[in-house]
Amino acid sequence: MRVLVTGAGGRLGRAVVPRLRDDGITVRATSRRPRTDQDVEWVVADLETGEGLDEAVAGVDAVLHLASAPTGGRTYEVDVLGTRRLVVAAGHADVRHLVYTSIVGVDRVPMPYYRRKLAAEQVVAAGPVPWSVLRATQFPEFLDELLVMSSRLGPTIGDRNVLAQPVDPGEVAARLSARLVAGPLRGIEEYGGPEVLRFDQAVRAWRAARHSRRPLLPVRVPGRLGRSLREGGLVTEALPRGARTWADYLADTYGGTARR
């Protein structure tokens, strides 16, 4: 099987590409700038303009669409219109399966980026290519970066009752590879980490791993957004789940934290 991977240079893409290759899948990867790799066929393509998409999808069996632009004001152009451009090109090329990676909570959490991701899901579902959507929970690296940012002024600031469910990118990559092999779901699958954590629990483990004494300064997220985050908008009960815990991530990243 030959698979085109968009967003192959991103955080998830860096886990997905070697996993696909290990599973015997031939990878063609997109980049907005020329790249070379003896193990991967890189092609230049731009979702924002559509340049190179027809050539990128030519001759592939499936497309794994990871690319996204969560910041910088390009989200609608890349995530929604860019996904439409990709779907159209894939349809013209008779691609047999398009897998779109999304986020658990896009249909429940009222954030602008999530609304764009939900719109992109709808573009995929309405398109001519047989499709699957995999919604994943948050990567531990993202939670780590969020805690660093929340601690810039001294204490770690956040809503102690917000719920999160970190999932390892490598495990998401394995799930995506299995979905490609299984074929189109024509539906939405959710995939999360092994445990649901309150924000204050995640902070305590993070502080211990970093040998930090920064206190938690509770600040309640207001309105519908806060309510959805506290009520589990970012977590899923779907099975199966990943196995690598927040404690595992912290131990590998900072050392000195026992795995549970």
> Which of 139, 144, 142 has the alpha carbon at shortest distance from 242?
139
What are the pLDDT digits (tens) for 20-77? 999 999 999 999 898 888 889 999 999 999 999 999 999 999 999 999 999 888 999 9
What are the pLDDT digits (tens) for 200-215? 999 999 999 999 998 9
What domains can you pick out in the chain, each with its CATH number? 2-199+203-254 (3.40.50.720)
Res 258 pLDDT > 60: no
Res 12 pLDDT > 70: yes
Q: Are 76 and 41 in contact (CB under 8 A)?
A: no
Phi, psi of 2 (to 5 degrees): -110, 125
Percent of the residues in the chain that have a pLDDT greater than 70, as a whole number:
98
Write the DSSP symbol of residue 194. Answer: S
Gap between the terminal Cα atoms of the chain: 38
Strands 41-44 and 131-136 turn out to be unpaired
Phi, psi of 249 (to 5 degrees): -60, -45
The tokens describing 186, both together, are: 């024509």
pLDDT of residue 147: 97
0.75 surpassed by pTM: yes
> Does the bond joining 240 to the residue before it have cis omega, within 30 degrees of 0?
yes
- Nearest-angstrom CA–CA distance, 105 and 115: 10
DSSP annotation string for 5-73:
EETTTSHHHHHHHHHHHHTT-EEEEEESS----SSSEEEE--TTT-TTHHHHHTT-SEEEE-----STT
Quick one: how far is CA 121 from the chain centroid?
13
List all residues 6 or more positions away from 9 whose beta carbon is below 8 Å from its beta carbon. Answer: 29, 31, 35
Q: What is the CA radius of gyration of the chain?
A: 19
